[in-house]
Amino acid sequence: HYREIKAADKRMHPFAEQKAWEDHQVNKAIMRFGSKDRKSKSEYELIFDNQIEFVQDELVHGENYKEDPSNELPEKSGARSTFEKLQNDRKTLPVYPYRDELLQAVEKHQVLVVVGETGSGKTTQIPQYLHEAGYTKHGKIGCTQPRRVAAMSVAARVSQEMGVKLGHEVGYAIRFEDCTSEKTVIKYMTDGMLLREFLGEPDLSSYSVVIVDEAHERTVCTDVLFGLVKDIARFRPDLKLIISSATLDAVRFSDYFDNAPIFKVPGRRFPVEIHYTKAPEADYLDAAIVTVLHIHVTESPGDGDILVFLTGQEEIESAEEILKQRTKSLGTRMPELIICPIYANLPTELQAKIFEPTPEGARKVVLATNIAETSLTIDGIKYVIDTGFVKIKSYNPRTGIESLLVTPISKASANQRAGRSGRTGPGKCFRLYTFHSYSNEMEDNTVPEIQRTNLANVVLSLKSLGISDVSGFDFMDPPAQECLIQALKLLYALGALNKKGELTKVGRKMAEFPLDPMLSKMIIASDKYKCSDEILSIAAMLSTGSLIFYRPKKKLLYADNARKLFYAGNVGDHVALVNVYRSWKENDYSHQWCYENYVQVKSMKRARDIRDQLEGLLERVEIELTSNPGDLEAIQKAITSGYFPNSARLQKTGSYKTFKYGQTAHIHPSSGLAFSFPKLVVYHELVLTSKEYMRQVTELKPEWLVEIAPHYYRLKDVKDSEAKKKRPCGEGLGI
């Protein structure tokens, strides 16, 4: 069978022959975790010494850990109800033997750092233990997650375990989706949501416990939360604070939280064999697919499932397609390969699929983004394929480009990924990179997001929380001063801050919206131009986080023709979004209409949800819903009011140059303006993929820039035929 795959591939795969793996003893390492059956070091090339030492030496509960709880699993019996089964499963989790000790520690200390292997039960169990111990009598337990999918799926799991309906006692809140009620006592939410709750409830008085979970992920919101919860803990002695992490940073967290004690939950890990490729892989996606198929045909299916780490939705979708084709060509002799994608924007109903047990005789392959590294635990994984890449955000304050770049992972990430294969039995990890690049090229840890992102949003939130000196904020790892200054300048230019750096009335209104400051400003400005209805549709469509138009490969021409119809007047992509939304609404939000027009139903539904919520917020900022569908100029001006810093001018070469940074950029080929080359445009975002691309672009007139942002643009500059020099925009604003 393998020969068949190879033939299909017309190339030799690095793992083609078992012998090649054997030969590569040097490139082979075996991690052993846990204290049982530890083989002597000399038997293996132990490359993960540090990690082993960590697990070995720092297990404070090591001696107490007598029995292997998995032995307790009673015989499966059809008669037992799901509820009982879940209760039994709970008792098999590594955290369970430490339940009482943990509760005592929480009782004794206000702040506790909890560290434990992914899958040990921190996220699902600790809130339940606290609930059972009475912590919800006088307040809620809030548990933050860096990812939406994790917040939703964990809440669903816990509600099952507690035998309650999701949204009642146990609920979740993510941006634009609140699944909680009066009854809710355990609330899972994204870290960004808790940050927003601070705006309405600065002391979080409705909470008795706050758990900042997955702290090791170090998202911007988590980092800001650290500073805020540390502060409120000082004047709310009744509030319990738990910082929970899956990795080794415990000491840093403890240091930051005034030497808070560390509670370690020993993991249960089995040995993991690590294989590296001999030479760097030119095409990691292809290598990953071949490796999946190789495992599938050479290892018996009942043996275990496969987890592949890829970088994003598109890549996962194409891997899924290729795998489907190739397994089909292998014929029916092969056991079934169930393909389960998982990424942040995967519709909720499909997410559950990855947790379903694999039927006998079949094998599951989970194609995941980094989300499966620590946020989600999927049982039954025995093989991990690690491409060695992750898509992360990076921001360059000098060019203003925020890019999602496919970047090599850190060593810490690589080890987390490998560990995912050794949860239920010995595992194997195939690293699609060389040992040399692991040891010499990978960073030890991933840089915290706060040091590689645009901070305008964070700064606006902090300012609206009354924190005037943002650079003096107690960050665990402070962001670069340059980034803070850029954020302050942008907020000043948008009118959210005054010259002294204080929040203005406009800024206060902007902070009401859970959106990027430029989007919020666009909405605020739409009041002036009497087109808030249209602008809300744009804001909602831009916030869905997924594609609006559907372009099936076989029907590209039809799809593109259908799309052109929305570009009437052809001023740009924003107006096209309004047109899409309006037509959909006029057709009673019909699915059929979406299919006929090659528009994604799911994105539209989400846009409608978001739009409803934004409309609800209009009242709070005293803006009336006004509409003037015929007046495109009004819409363009409202967009420009939020996005004037993102303007770019056509060059003789056919490319564009941004006003602010003199950065060369191109209109993204997916834009309706890609081939019409308007002289001057505003763009929603500038992303770096194969080139610097502007996405969601609208044409504008130079005079508007001066009319709307006279503090930012001078007529003689915008009228110049070409941007000759970098305009020092926003310089000398006295902030």
Nearest Cα to Cα of residue 424 among 157, 77, 117, 70: 70
Size of the site for Mg ion (CB under 5 A): 1
> Closest CB to ligand CDP among 153 and 370?
153
Q: Do β-strands 680-688 and 647-650 pair in parallel, antiparallel, or remain unpaired?
A: antiparallel
CA distance 113 to 344: 27
Minimum gap (Å) between residue 509 Cβ and ligand CDP: 38
DSSP state of 176: T
Among the candidate windows 20-28, 149-157, 248-256, 293-301, which touches ligand CDP by CB under 6 A? 149-157
Rounded CA gap, 93 and 129, in Å?
Answer: 13
Q: Which of 659, 693, 671 is nearest to 572 (CA)?
A: 671
Alpha helices (H) along 207-337: 220-235, 250-256, 284-298, 313-330
β-pairing, 170-174 with 186-190? parallel
By CB under 6 A, residue 93 contacts ligand CDP: yes
The answer to whether residue 119 forms part of the interface with ligand CDP (CB under 6 A) is yes
The residues, any chain, with a CB within 8 Å of residue 678's CB and separated by 6 or more, are: 572, 650, 699
Q: Which stretch, 122-130, 365-373, 575-583, 700-708, contacts Mg ion (CB under 5 A)?
A: 122-130
2 binds, among ligand CDP, Mg ion, none (CB under 5 to 8 A by kind): none
The interface partner of residue 245, options being ligand CDP, Mg ion, none and the CB cut-off 5 to 8 Å by kind, is: none
Three-class SS of residue 111? strand
Whose CB is nearest to Mg ion? 123
Closest separation in Å from C-beta 79 to ligand CDP: 22
Closer residue to ligand CDP (CB): 247 or 543: 247
What number of residues does the chain have?
Answer: 735
CA distance 461 to 227: 13
Give whichever of 247 and 698 is closer to Mg ion, judged by the CB atom.
Answer: 247
Query: Of the candidates 190, 291, 377, 407, which one interacts with ligand CDP according to CB under 6 A?
Result: 377
Decide if residue 427 touches ligand CDP (CB under 6 A): no
Asked if residue 388 binds ligand CDP (CB under 6 A), the reply is no
Regarding 650 and contact with ligand CDP (CB under 6 A), the answer is no
Q: Does 144 bind Mg ion (CB under 5 A)?
A: no
Return the range that interacts with Mg ion (CB under 5 A); candidates 84-92, 121-129, 516-524, 608-616.
121-129
CA 287 to chain centre: 25
Tell whether residue 358 is a contact of ligand CDP (CB under 6 A).
no
Tell me, residue by residue from 69 to 108, as one string, x for binding to Mg ion by CB under 5 A and - for no binding: ----------------------------------------
* CA 200 to chain centroid: 25
- Sign of the dihedral defined by the CA atoms of residues 345, 349, 355, 361, in that order: negative
What x/- string results for residues 692 through 721 when contact with Mg ion is judged by CB under 5 A? ------------------------------
CA distance 442 to 439: 6
Cβ proximity to ligand CDP: between 53 and 379 the closer is 379
Binding of residue 127 to ligand CDP (CB under 6 A): no
Map residue 504 onto helix, strand or coil: coil
Q: What share of the chain is helix, strand, coil (3-state, %, to 5)?
A: 45, 15, 40
Based on the shown chain and the rule CB under 6 A, indicate whether residue 121 belongs to the binding site for ligand CDP: yes
Return residues touching ligand CDP (CB under 6 A). 93, 116, 118-125, 153-154, 157, 355, 377, 379
Return residues touching Mg ion (CB under 5 A). 123
